[in-house]
Amino acid sequence: MGMSIPLLGLALLSGCMAHSEPAELFQLTSESAINRAMQTRMYETADVRELLSASAAVLQDLGFQVEESQKEVGFLRAAKERSAREYGQYIGRFFAFVLSLGKYLMPVDLHQKISATLVARPINPDATRQEVRIIFYRVVWKGDGQADRQYIPPGEQKMEMLRDPILYQQFFAKLSKAVFLEGFKL
């Protein structure tokens, strides 16, 4: 009997945990549709390889280095590294330090890796029309601001999708121009 009560409690606890996921976790929001529209364009071409090649060239023009390309499945991944320091963070850091009477030194963004993941796929039966979706995101490492390349514990980084419409418009404008020029072999 002494062993059955803890087992019963454990079973009840595991049952509660299995059903504790919020339903909204799997719901699409209005922002999801806006993001997808910003990240997606259609191109009239049957040559997915040329489309990926043009995409890689555009990303390189934007300062990215192609890290992976799987032309057979229409996949491309590129990245670039940059400083993440912003002037406003140092002002906030100063005030936090002063208001805490020197006891709290707020970490600042030091370095970031901006990545782009692109997928191209046919959307009609004869594969003459391709959908291109690209997602830009970044990982930012935080630290004390004294050295750029110090060890930063895993909790001192953040990952976020970039939602700047200008970044996506710039990419697709250049890609559209490249695809148009390629179509005329100019």
Dig out the tokens for 142 from the structure: 């935080």
Contacting residues for 6 by C-beta, under 8 A, at least 6 apart: none
CA dihedral 109, 82, 154, 102 (to 10 degrees): -20
133-158: average pLDDT: 69
Q: Which of 1-5, 86-90, 99-103, 145-149 has the highest mean pLDDT?
A: 99-103
Query: pLDDT tens digits for 29-48?
Result: 778 889 999 999 999 998 89
Judge contact between 114 and 138, C-beta under 8 A.
yes
Helix axes 48-61, 165-183, angle to 10 degrees: 130
Average pLDDT, the chain: 77
Give the residue extent of every domain in the chain. 42-183
Residues above pLDDT 90, as percent of the chain: 45
Q: How far apart are CA 50 and CA 62, in angstroms?
A: 18
Burial bucket for residue 97 (CB in 10 Å: 0-12, 13-18, 19+): middle
Res 5 pLDDT > 50: no
Residue 72 reports pLDDT greater than 70: yes
Q: Please give the model's pTM, rounded to 2 decimal places.
A: 0.69
